[in-house]
């Protein structure tokens, strides 16, 4: 096989491998989209929970780089603390080891079977879930087809004296050779920006017998350092905490590699002790079929061991990276009304989790508007400062509404399941209704200005108005809890309450007109009072529509 044939076979095999990984990852993400979103939303200050989140998300998406870049984005958005991010990064490092175990299965002889089995539900099934599962199986089949071609490309190199001579220094069993291999693995991973690609190439080279087992492990160590480049690049232009999250990833991996490299011979012995198969066994075709299992175990042992070692030291790592990346007094970070990550660097499920968190923030702002408006109306004196604050809150909700809508529209351009697409449409609807509620709260506040500054609404109409005001507020608050917990969202009860409030509003206006006709109130109050009741009724209507959108958002995938 000539040099040109080797190159295009290698590149073609690598391309098929990446296509398969992407296909498999997209299928798994579509099936597990709701799971990913719930996993991210369940994140708390428990370090073990954070590690579990990073591990599970990375196992599903098959890319630790995507997980760490996503984590940096969450920290930049203020949705994740630095300590939480460190735990997620630890988990991502463990989760990425699943790729090595997939490769070590050696299912290339059954690759076409996987493609065929996955093709059937992918093409003929009407159930979306089975379609995506079929897609994942087809992707897995392509992974092994790509590995087969890469193995064919590397096979002639083990008998090429010139090539073997050029890599002879890296194959030695000395600390100098180990160090050179670690550096080479790091540099190549930084160049291709994919630790998965380098892992595949390393395992293929070792299986073909081109590089010895110990050299492959040294390359793996270097690849762990090189994999940090994605997060570092993603942190450019972000806030201080996001930079710290990216840098703690690099510090963690570098320290782990330094520790293991100092005891590398003993580390290799530990790996061999965990895998009973002989890595030096050579098959009749000249390959070393057992070495991939040892490399997968080495990758797992390294990342699990490093996590166990550093997990108790999360606070220390956070302190260290804070000192390395201090806050700059002369560089004030501009506070944003809303900070959403770049959807092109995030999974649809992760983007949805981020937008869902921002919707809760938007709801909280609307609730603050409502409470402030209640104080503004019930106060004996007209307070212009409170009115200005309410107007400012409304401006903030306008901006949040715009940013959430634009963000989610970009997310919808990415591949996703039909269920995820419907959920995003529901989220946009929720943002629309919250913004409309905020508009009517502002209108209601402005109606206060129609009364003379030394006068307020008095008597029975005042009592009815504030009672209706409070009931509409309770209705909004009850529906809003559905964003946090769908179990509290009783649509039958909500519909009954909504209709009751609507009838109450009509009755209030009629009673006020009757009082005006009896001379209890001046006629000029008729229009204002009617507008006040209509504003509250509109808030009730948009709250009811929001309840329907929340129910659709939380609906289970069929």
CATH code of the domain containing 376 = 1.20.58.220
What's the average model confidence in pLDDT over 321-327? 86
Residue 369 CA to residue 376 CA, distance in Å, equals: 10
**298, 282, 157: which is closest to 223 by C-alpha?**
298
Convert the pLDDT of each residue in 207-242 to its tens digit.
888 888 888 999 999 998 988 888 888 787 777 888
Does residue 26 belong to any structural domain of this protein? yes
Q: Does 381 lie in the same domain as 300?
A: no
* Residue 56 · residue 38 · CB < 8 Å: no
> Which two structure tokens, joined as six digits, stand for 136?
């994942």
Does residue 254 belong to any structural domain of this protein? yes
> Which two structure tokens, joined as six digits, stand for 114?
């996987």
283-to-48, 358, 360 alpha-carbon distances in Å: 42, 57, 59
- Is the pLDDT at 44 greater than 90, yes or no? no
**What backbone phi and psi angles, to 5 degrees, belong to 49?**
-65, -40
Sequence-distant (6+) residues with CB within 8 A of 236 are none
Instruction: Point out the domain boundary residue: 275, 290, 324.
Output: 324
> Which two structure tokens, joined as six digits, stand for 406?
């634009």
Does residue 234 belong to any structural domain of this protein? yes
Instruction: Write down the pLDDT at residue 338.
Output: 47
Q: Does 56 lie in the same domain as 106?
A: yes
Q: Does 257 lie in the same domain as 372?
A: no
Sequence-distant (6+) residues with CB within 8 A of 4 are none
Q: Does 408 lie in the same domain as 280?
A: no
What DSSP designation does 108 have? G
* Range scoring the smallest mean pLDDT among 177-191, 312-326, 449-463: 449-463
Neighbours of 483 (CB within 10 A): 21
Kindly report the average pLDDT of the chain as a whole number: 83
Q: Identify the three-state secondary structure at position 414.
A: coil
In the block, tokens 């630095």 appear at: 82
* Residue 422 · residue 528 · CB < 8 Å: no
Q: How many Cα atoms are found within 13 Å in the side-chain-facing hemisphere of 345? A: 18
Q: Does 360 lie in the same domain as 310?
A: no
Does residue 248 belong to any structural domain of this protein? yes
Q: How many helices (H) and strands (E) does the chain have?
A: 23, 0
Residue 484 CA to residue 418 CA, distance in Å, equals: 23
Instruction: Write down the pLDDT at residue 544.
Output: 94
Neighbours of 177 (CB within 10 A): 18
Q: 336: pLDDT confidence band, cut at 50, 70 and 90?
A: very low
Q: Does 353 lie in the same domain as 318?
A: no
Q: Does 151 lie in the same domain as 110?
A: yes
Q: Does 79 lie in the same domain as 18?
A: yes
Does residue 516 belong to any structural domain of this protein? yes
Q: Does 550 lie in the same domain as 413?
A: yes
Helix (H) or strand (E) holding 72: helix 64-76
Q: Does 389 lie in the same domain as 287?
A: no
Top-ranked range on mean pLDDT: pick from 190-204, 326-340, 450-464: 190-204
Cα of first residue to Cα of last residue in the chain, in angstroms, is 52
In the block, tokens 């350092």 appear at: 225
Using a CB cutoff of 8 Å and minimum separation of 24, what contacts does 418-426 make?
Answer: 418/128, 419/33, 419/34, 419/128, 419/557, 420/30, 420/33, 420/348, 420/349, 420/352, 422/552, 422/555, 423/352, 423/552, 423/553, 424/348, 424/352, 424/355, 426/549, 426/550, 426/552, 426/553
Range of the domain at 199: 3-324
Does residue 497 belong to any structural domain of this protein? yes
- Is the pLDDT at 519 greater than 70, yes or no? no
Instruction: Write down the pLDDT at residue 133.
Output: 86
386-to-191, 368, 436, 452, 532 alpha-carbon distances in Å: 56, 12, 20, 17, 18
Instruction: Point out the domain boundary residue: 272, 293, 324.
Output: 324
> Which two structure tokens, joined as six digits, stand for 497?
């309450």
What's the average model confidence in pLDDT over 145-172? 77
* CA dihedral over 70, 72, 77, 82, signed as positive or negative: positive
pLDDT above 70 coverage of the chain, percent? 89
With b meaning 16 or more CB within 10 Å and e meaning fewer, what string describes 294-309?
Answer: bbbbbbbbbbeebbee
Convert the pLDDT of each residue in 403-442 to its tens digit.
899 889 888 888 777 888 888 999 999 999 999 999 999 9
Q: 81: pLDDT confidence band, cut at 50, 70 and 90?
A: confident
**143, 60, 549: which is closest to 347 by C-alpha?**
60
363-to-40, 305, 444, 468 alpha-carbon distances in Å: 20, 43, 18, 21
Q: Identify the three-state secondary structure at position 283.
A: coil
Q: Does 314 lie in the same domain as 412?
A: no
Q: Does 357 lie in the same domain as 303?
A: no
* Residue 280 · residue 288 · CB < 8 Å: yes
What's the average model confidence in pLDDT over 144-155? 84
**472, 437, 223: which is closest to 215 by C-alpha?**
223
Does residue 175 belong to any structural domain of this protein? yes
- Is the pLDDT at 455 greater than 60, yes or no? no
Convert the pLDDT of each residue in 461-511 to its tens digit.
778 888 999 999 999 999 988 887 777 778 889 999 999 998 888 788 777
DSSP notation for 263-278: THHHHHHHHHHH--S-
* Residue 282 · residue 209 · CB < 8 Å: yes
Q: 119: pLDDT confidence band, cut at 50, 70 and 90?
A: confident
Neighbours of 557 (CB within 10 A): 15
Sequence-distant (6+) residues with CB within 8 A of 297 are 271, 274, 275
* Residue 344 · residue 334 · CB < 8 Å: no
**Domain tally, the chain:** 2
What's the average model confidence in pLDDT over 296-324? 91
Instruction: Point out the domain boundary residue: 324, 352, 372.
Output: 324
- Is the pLDDT at 334 greater than 80, yes or no? no
Residue 254 CA to residue 258 CA, distance in Å, equals: 6
Does residue 164 belong to any structural domain of this protein? yes
* Residue 68 · residue 89 · CB < 8 Å: yes
Instruction: Write down the pLDDT at residue 339.
Output: 52
**155, 189, 143: which is closest to 15 by C-alpha?**
143
């Amino acid at each position: 096989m000539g040099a040109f044939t080797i190159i295009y076979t290698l590149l073609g095999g690598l391309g098929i491998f990446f296509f398969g990984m992407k296909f498999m990852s997209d299928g798994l993400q579509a099936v597990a989209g709701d799971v990913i979103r719930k996993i991210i939303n369940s994140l708390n200050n428990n370090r073990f929970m954070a590690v579990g989140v990073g591990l599970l998300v990375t196992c599903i998406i098959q890319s630790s780089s995507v997980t760490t870049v996503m984590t940096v984005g969450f920290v930049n958005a203020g949705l994740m603390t630095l300590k939480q991010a460190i735990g997620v990064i630890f988990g991502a490092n463990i989760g990425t080891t699943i790729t090595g175990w997939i490769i070590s299965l050696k299912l290339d002889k059954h690759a076409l079977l996987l493609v065929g089995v996955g093709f059937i539900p992918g093409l003929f099934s009407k159930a979306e879930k089975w379609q995506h599962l079929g897609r994942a199986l087809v992707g897995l089949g392509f992974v092994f087809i790509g590995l087969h071609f890469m193995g064919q490309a590397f096979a002639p190199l083990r008998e090429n004296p010139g090539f073997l001579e050029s890599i002879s220094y890296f194959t030695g069993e000395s600390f100098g050779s180990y160090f050179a291999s670690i550096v080479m693995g790091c540099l190549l991973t930084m160049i291709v920006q994919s630790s998965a690609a380098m892992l595949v190439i390393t395992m293929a080279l070792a299986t073909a017998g081109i590089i010895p087992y110990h050299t492959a492990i040294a390359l793996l160590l270097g690849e762990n350092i090189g994999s940090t480049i994605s997060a570092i690049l993603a942190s450019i232009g972000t806030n201080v905490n996001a930079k710290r999250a990216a840098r703690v990833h690099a510090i963690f991996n570098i320290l782990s590699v330094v520790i293991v490299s100092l005891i590398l011979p003993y580390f290799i012995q530990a790996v061999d002790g965990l895998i009973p198969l002989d890595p030096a066994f050579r098959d009749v075709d000249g390959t070393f079929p057992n070495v991939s299992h040892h490399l997968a175990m080495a990758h797992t042992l390294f990342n699990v061991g490093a996590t166990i070692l550093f997990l108790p030291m999360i606070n220390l790592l956070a302190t260290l990276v804070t000192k390395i990346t201090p806050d700059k007094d002369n560089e004030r970070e501009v506070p944003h009304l809303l900070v959403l990550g770049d959807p092109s660097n995030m999974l649809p499920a992760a983007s949805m989790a981020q937008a869902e968190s921002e919707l809760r923030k938007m709801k909280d702002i609307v609730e603050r508007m409502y409470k402030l408006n209640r104080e503004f109306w019930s106060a004996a004196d007209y307070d212009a400062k409170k009115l200005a604050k309410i107007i400012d809150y409304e401006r903030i909700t306008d901006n949040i509404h715009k940013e959430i809508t634009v963000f989610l529209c970009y997310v919808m351009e990415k591949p996703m399941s039909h269920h995820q697409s419907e959920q995003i449409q529901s989220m946009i609807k929720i943002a629309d209704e919250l913004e409309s509620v905020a508009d009517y709260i502002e209108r209601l506040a402005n109606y206060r200005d129609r009364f003379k500054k030394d006068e307020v609404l008095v008597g029975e109409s005042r009592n009815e108005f504030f009672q209706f005001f409070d009931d509409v507020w309770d209705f909004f608050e009850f529906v809003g809890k559905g964003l946090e917990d769908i179990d509290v969202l009783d649509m039958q009860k909500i519909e009954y309450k909504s209709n009751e409030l609507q009838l109450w509003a009509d009755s209030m206006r009629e009673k006020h007109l009757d009082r005006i006709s009896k001379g209890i109130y001046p006629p000029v109050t008729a229009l204002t009072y009617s507008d006040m009741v209509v504003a509250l009724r509109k808030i009730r209507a948009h709250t009811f529509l929001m309840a329907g959108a929340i129910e659709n958002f939380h609906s289970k995938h069929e």
